[in-house]
Structure 1
Amino acid sequence: MSMKIRLARGGSKKRPHYSIVATDSRMPRDGRFLEKLGTYDPMLAKDNENRVRMDLDRVKHWLGQGAQPTDRVARMLEAAGVLEKKTRSNPKSAVPGKAMADRAAKKAARAAAPAEE
């Protein structure tokens, strides 16, 4: 059984509230889970201690059992000091999209046109 530690969404529309849960990876996002490990409230300020609350002993237990955290939960665990910080590389994040590249090319063409006259 492939285990995940992930977020299960709760709360109403545009007012999200997440539970950090240990679950079988085949279960739906908000479906059945084995254990609730904590909560995440993105509506709170980033420096608020109640924004992310976890039972770190149980999280370590599930990690020891082979559970894999999702990317977002892994970042929370890195901030809590449970996991070692991983280097991430996203080389495409700095590359502009197609529309922005077209705009930049047009702007460069306009800037070059008066210089040629």
Structure 2
Amino acid sequence: MGAKGAPFYRVVVAPSTAGRNGSFNEVIGTYNPTTQPKHLEIKNDRALHWLLNGAQPTETVAYLLKKVGVLDEYFGQRPKARKDFAYLDKTTAATSVSTAIDNEVTAKVAEAVAEEAVSEGA
């Protein structure tokens, strides 16, 4: 899976006693962050099955599951579980704020460069 310098990830269901590169029960998806747009493929039915049977996703996988809509479906079936994933709302809000700040800074830099180019041309 993947190559040096080219990350590619499998989303797997593994027992909590297994190591990071240890045994796993099932591959439920893949994630390739290097392609444009980023490739994310999750078997929604299998992911939902494992969540309903007590699987606890890592924070990163929970974010990916939220992105493809699996967690919304899970919350529809188990509304009380939403509190266990409250950190996702904070992470999403923080990401939105940092993106907005980055975009504002980028816009100001672009604006300054444009003004400088206009003043040099005059």
TM-score band (shorter)?
0.5 to 0.7
Gaps of 5+ in 1: 1-9, 95-117
Match of 1:83 among 39, 46, 71: 71
User: Aligned with 2:7: secondary structure?
Assistant: strand
Matches of 2:4 and 2:50 in 1, distance apart?
31
SS class of match (1:74) = helix
TM-score by length of 2: 0.57
1:113: which partner in 2?
Answer: none
* Sequence identity percentage: 38
Instruction: Report the secondary structure of 2:8's partner residue.
Output: strand
- Name whichever structure is richer in helix by fraction: 2
Residue correspondences, number: 80
Aligned partner of 1:56 in structure 2 is: 44
Shift of 1:80: 1.1
Structure that is richer in strand per residue = 1
Q: Who is 2:80 aligned against? A: none
- Consecutive unaligned residues of structure 2, counting only runs of 5 or more, are 73-85, 99-122
Q: Which has the larger radius of gyration?
A: 1
1:11 CA displacement: 2.0
Deviant stretches of 4+, over 3 Å: none
Structure with the bigger RCO (C-alpha within 8 Å, sep 6+) is 1
Please tell me whether residue 26 in structure 1 is matched to residue 30 in structure 2: no
Q: How much does 1:67 deviate?
A: 0.3
1:62 counterpart SS class: helix
The within-5 A match list for 1:1-117 is 10-45=1-36, 47-48=37-38, 51-84=39-72, 86-88=88-90
Shift of 1:87: 1.8
